[in-house]
Amino acid sequence: MPDTKTPAATTLVIGAGELGLAVIDGLLARDPTAALSISVLLRPSGEAGAMTARKLQEKGVDIVHGDLARNTVDGLAALFAGFDTVICCTGFVGGPGTQRKITTAVLQAGAKRYVPWQFGVDYDVVGRGSGQDVFDEQSDVRDLLRAQTATQWIIVSTGMFTSFLFEPAFGLVDLEHARVHALGSWANRLTVTTADDIGRLTAAVLAHEPRLRDEVVYIAGDTFSYAQLAETVQRHLGRDVERVLWDIDNLRSEVAVYPDDGMRKYRLAFARDTGVAWDKDRTFNAAHGIAVTDVAAWLGRREAA
């Protein structure tokens, strides 16, 4: 039998990965007593999962067990029922259709407010056919939310996670070999935000008065062109950086040869000059004077750690 939440619990965070933990910390930082009203949905798992659950329970967070892949929409809706706010912090790892499934279950459960996994690009601008199938699904999620009025929703557009810039499999920045790749053009821009900042800012967005509802809120830790990114990395390393352009034709050819390679699809999807970047001075964090971490500061903290 699935775990049931306590009557006091009003917010459900789905997932306790990097973002889920950051969102929980963000909520608790705004109100240390909020643990009494926060639950987190975790998949029953092994020792690592049990350790995460124990740490969360020590903070006063309630644990709800469920499996996004195995549970039906009806089963998930039963788990979500009664929560005022649901925040989805589980991304694309669940496979195709997972975000549509979660959203359908949240709406069926009658949640008052929903923050979907849209912590990324501006899917209204990117639209369908970007080359990345999961982006198309994100457009489907927006259609589901906009087709109803019972559940209020807030989409937090963050750009790329800052750490993903340096993900070896993605290949955008190679610190070891002092190499930076540009996607499409050196003039193309990118917005990035750290997971910790996303957690803090999501909590701030939810706490905003008057309440924000049925809208897209933009945040940004940093916005830059790929040429500016190369300069930032060069200053950090203190030596020349090799600059390599992956043009559109090359990226499309790579996807054609390796159609099942998700990382190649991501490179193609981000190789554009619209929808993946917005001016930092027009963001929620800028409007409210909330300090955030740019790439140079992130690199400095990484080196210090």
The tens digit of pLDDT for each residue in 67-82 reads: 999 999 999 999 999 8
User: Is residue 1's pLDDT more than 70?
Assistant: no
Which has the higher per-residue pLDDT, 132 or 299? 299
Token look-up 């979907």 returns 116
Instruction: Summarize the confidence of residues 118-123 as an average pLDDT.
Output: 95
* pLDDT given for residue 61 in this prediction: 92
Which among 116, 135, 118 is positioned nearest to 126, based on CA atoms?
A: 135
Residues 93 and 18: their CA atoms lie apart, in Å, by 13
Q: Which residues contact 131 (CB under 8 A, 6 or more apart)?
A: 252, 255, 265, 268, 269
Residues 184 and 163: their CA atoms lie apart, in Å, by 21
pLDDT > 90 fraction of the chain, expressed in percent and rounded: 81
Does residue 192 sit in helix, strand or coil?
strand
The 10s digit of each residue's pLDDT in 237-283 is: 999 999 999 999 999 999 999 999 989 999 999 999 999 999 999 99
* pLDDT given for residue 7 in this prediction: 41
Helix, strand, coil percentages (3-state) for the chain, rounded to 5, are 45, 15, 35
* pLDDT given for residue 46 in this prediction: 62
* pLDDT given for residue 35 in this prediction: 64
Which has the higher per-residue pLDDT, 46 or 143? 143
Query: Mean of the per-residue pLDDT values for the chain?
Result: 92
User: Is residue 298's pLDDT more than 70?
Assistant: yes
* pLDDT given for residue 237 in this prediction: 97
User: Is residue 14's pLDDT more than 60?
Assistant: yes
Partner residues linked to 216 by β-bridges? 155
pLDDT band at 132 (very low <50, low <70, confident <90, very high): confident
| Residues 194, 221 contacting (CB under 8 angstroms) | yes
* pLDDT given for residue 45 in this prediction: 74
Instruction: Summarize the confidence of residues 217-244 as an average pLDDT.
Output: 98
Q: Which residues contact 175 (CB under 8 A, 6 or more apart)?
A: 166, 233, 237
178-191 CB burial, b ≥16 within 10 A, e <16: bbbbbbbbeebbbb
Which among 191, 206, 195 is positioned nearest to 275, based on CA atoms?
A: 191
pLDDT band at 300 (very low <50, low <70, confident <90, very high): very high
Residues 162 and 156: their CA atoms lie apart, in Å, by 15
The answer, as to whether pTM is greater than 0.75, is yes
Cis peptide before 96 (omega within 30 of 0): no
User: Is residue 186's pLDDT more than 90?
Assistant: yes
Residues 279 and 190: their CA atoms lie apart, in Å, by 10
